[in-house]
Structure 1
Amino acid sequence: MSQQQYPPQRPGWGGPQQPFGPPPPKKGGAGKVIGLGCLGLVGLFVLIALIGAVAGGGSGSNGSKRADDTKAGGSTSKGHETADASEGSDEKAEKKTGKKVVIFKVWGTAPAGALGPLNITYGSDSDNRDGAFENGKFEATLPLDDDAMYFNVTAQLQGSGDIHCSVTVGGKSKKAHAAGDYNICMAQLSSGLLGGWH
């Protein structure tokens, strides 16, 4: 009885060794590089779209509750009149200083709560300041910094109230509203990729 011989086995591999020559050469990474380059471009466009959506969505009110005019002191219509009467104040401020300015405003009713008075912060992405709410309003101006990515104003209620806020740059304004509890009024103008504010 003759014993049939099989070719030697590769270590760690269960089948017979193939005598067909050397393994094929590894493929170059050019396909991977091109694929990653295309994926990188798509990712860049998605990132730009997300930044635009976040920047454009920053002008809404964070407060979801609306206070009844009687609970809030009933001065919302007065607040609207105050805001509308001061729309041209950015032009007046620019004529005084000769430079472009950013105007920050908060108005309405905001009684002091257990944590103190209305908390106001205003400025740009690189410069934040605190503001004081007096006699139902706050207004401040800063010189326009062309390198700023955005300008914003936030005002947080301390338990009750009904407030509006706005940011104005070169005639463009963003407004917001908050009412009741500890809600936050936030208005923001962002610098566009091609210039301008929105």
Structure 2
Amino acid sequence: MSYIQPPPPPPPGFGPPPPVPPVSRPAWARKRVLLPVAVVILLVGIGIGSAGNGGDGEKSAAEPAPTVTVTAKSEAEVEPAPTVTVTKTATKTAAAKAQTEKDAADTAPEGKAVFKVWGSAPSGVEITYGNDGTNLQGSRLPMTKTLTVKDDALYYQVTAQLMGGGDVHCSVTIDGKTKTGRAQGGYNICSAQLNSDFTGGFS
């Protein structure tokens, strides 16, 4: 039976150093180290808090409260109300129209017979004028013709026949005497005639 022998011890000066016993500090030395550390931590915390509050203060000062501006229109800028213009067309009264027609007819130089036809004839009109010995053709409206009065003439007349519609007036004037006529619509005939009398004039 064999036995394992332990190795021989190392010679003096070789091998691991002997363990150093722990050095215990007194209580007053531990307080002396912890107290400055606590003061430093406290001061750092106060500084961080002040920096945070200071930043908020600067931010509040940099951003002023919003302002609202209301602009009101002055009286000069107020838009005026729209202007409405009413146009009226003046029309002649019946009396004024009749007077105008009379003035147009009652014009003739001495010793002359004046024939007139006026109005509207959209489809045309056939006009004849003269004395008992003549039959002359008229022109388009308005028409004015003049003839020298003959002593032996029995009458002077003018006729205007509508050709399908319209409204025409006709007149014959001799020495301040006038006869007038009127025709409206269809194929109606406007006729005016002055006859000689026993005094040598016309009526």
TM-score normalised over the length of structure 1:
0.51
Larger Rg: 2
- Alpha-carbon contact 2:107-2:176 (below 8 Å) kept: no
Measure the CA separation in 2 of the matches of 1:124 and 1:146: 11
Cα separation, partners in 2 of 1:107 and 1:81, compared to 1, 3 Å? farther
Cα separation, partners in 2 of 1:155 and 1:82, compared to 1, 3 Å? same
Amino acid corresponding to residue 112 of structure 2 in structure 1 = V
- Alpha-carbon contact 2:119-2:167 (below 8 Å) kept: yes
Cα separation, partners in 2 of 1:146 and 1:75, compared to 1, 3 Å? farther
Determine helix, strand or coil for the equivalent of 2:102: helix
- Residue in 1 that maps onto 2:54: none
- Residue in 1 that maps onto 2:51: none
Which aligned pairs between 1:2-151 and structure 2 lie closer than 5 A?
80=98, 82-87=100-105, 89-91=107-109, 94=110, 100-112=111-123, 117-134=124-141, 137-151=142-156
Determine helix, strand or coil for the equivalent of 2:133: coil
**1:166 and 2:171 matched:** yes
Runs of 4+ in structure 1 deviating by more than 3 angstroms, as ranges, are 74-82
Which of 184, 187, 191 matches 1:186? 191
RMSD across aligned positions (CA) = 2.4
Q: Report percent identity of matched pairs.
A: 46
- Residue in 1 that maps onto 2:180: 175
Determine helix, strand or coil for the equivalent of 1:160: coil
Aligned length: 112
TM-score normalised over the length of structure 2:
0.50
Measure the CA separation in 2 of the matches of 1:87 and 1:176: 11
Cα separation, partners in 2 of 1:80 and 1:109, compared to 1, 3 Å? farther
Q: Which runs of 5+ in 2 are unaligned?
A: 1-90
Q: Which runs of 5+ in 1 are unaligned?
A: 1-73, 95-99
Amino acid corresponding to residue 108 of structure 2 in structure 1 = D
Higher relative contact order (Cα pairs below 8 Å, separated by 6+ residues): 1
Deviations 1:16-41 (CA, angstroms, capped at 9, x unpaired) = xxxxxxxxxxxxxxxxxxxxxxxxxx
Deviations 1:44-98 (CA, angstroms, capped at 9, x unpaired) = xxxxxxxxxxxxxxxxxxxxxxxxxxxxxx999686454233355313xx4xxxx
